[in-house]
Every structure is written in C-alpha cells, then in structure tokens.
Amino acid sequence: MAIAGVLLTVAAAVVVYQYRFLFAALAYPARVRAIPQAATDRVVDWAASQSVAPGRVRSFRLPVQYAAFAINGFVSVARLKDGRTCALLIEGIGYKDNFEGVLTCSAPLRESEVVRSANYPRSYISLPGYGRFEELYISSKRNDRTYDVYFDLN
C-alpha cells in the first residue's frame, strides 16, 4: 500500500513538472517581463544590421548596452528569406534546455507562422528550417512583431 502511495505521488509530480509552463501561464497570464518593448525594438534593429545571410540563423554576443536583456548575453538571429529579421532573447533556462524568452521581428509574423493546435491549449510560432525558431510556444502576444515565448522539450 505504501509503495502505491509513493508511485502515485511520483506520477503526480511528473505531471505537474511536465505541464509547469502551462500552469504558470494559466496562473499568471499577464506576467510582466523584464525586457521592455522599447528595448526589444532596439535589439531587433541592431540584429538587422548584423551579417546574417537570408535563410540562416546565427548567434551573436549582445553589445554591452543590450547584454542584460538575455540571461547568457547572446541573441539568436534569423534572417528570413523574405528579408525580415527575428531575434530571440532568452530570459531563463530550465531543465533539458527548456527556456523562456522574447521573440521579436523587424516586421509582423505571417498568419501561417503562428500555429494553432487542437492538441495543445497554446499556439506556437514555427519558422521551419530556422532551428530554435521552429517551435516557440506563445505565453503572450505584445504586438504583431513581439511575443513572449517558451520552449518545452517535455
């Protein structure tokens, strides 16, 4: 009987852990982020001036004035084939390289890049072929160019 209780407790803990971002999003839907919108606009303008070939992703060390916006001082930059630039700033890193951050682009995301899933309560951003930018779940939408996002490997 004691073993069954322990197994049930462990199973419950695993479920809570697996859905922690969902629970956090439900509990704090309007969570205030550390990176203000004006700062993300400056970062994406800076990222657009970097040498990234269309269709490629690069990681850059942020300049000193922007370094505090990312937990590791780096930004991932994707130059889309249509010329848009997207920057991903990581605010927090968790177990199995799960992370929370901000995705901001130089122009609005297309409707097809925001995927709505019947199997998951949150929409996600998918930029196929762009590595880290392929499955970013949306915590909140700031505007048509900037989203608070997270990645959960499960």
Does residue 4 lie in a domain region? no
Residue 79 lies in a domain: yes
Residue 6 lies in a domain: no
CA distance 132 to 32: 23
Query: E strand or H helix at 3, and its extent?
Result: helix 2-18
Mind listing the pLDDT tens digit of every residue in the chain (154 residues)?
667 665 566 455 444 444 544 444 444 344 445 688 899 999 999 999 999 999 999 999 999 999 989 988 999 999 999 999 999 999 988 887 889 999 999 999 999 999 987 777 789 999 999 999 999 999 999 999 999 999 987 6
CA distances from 99 to 10, 73, 80, 93, 138 (A): 24, 14, 22, 4, 12
What residue type is assigned to position 151 of the chain?
F
Q: What is the pLDDT of residue 138?
A: 93
Query: Has residue 69 been placed in a domain?
Result: yes
Q: Which domain holds residue 84?
A: 33-151
pTM above 0.85, yes or no: no
Residue 5 forms part of a structural domain: no
Number of domain units in the chain: 1
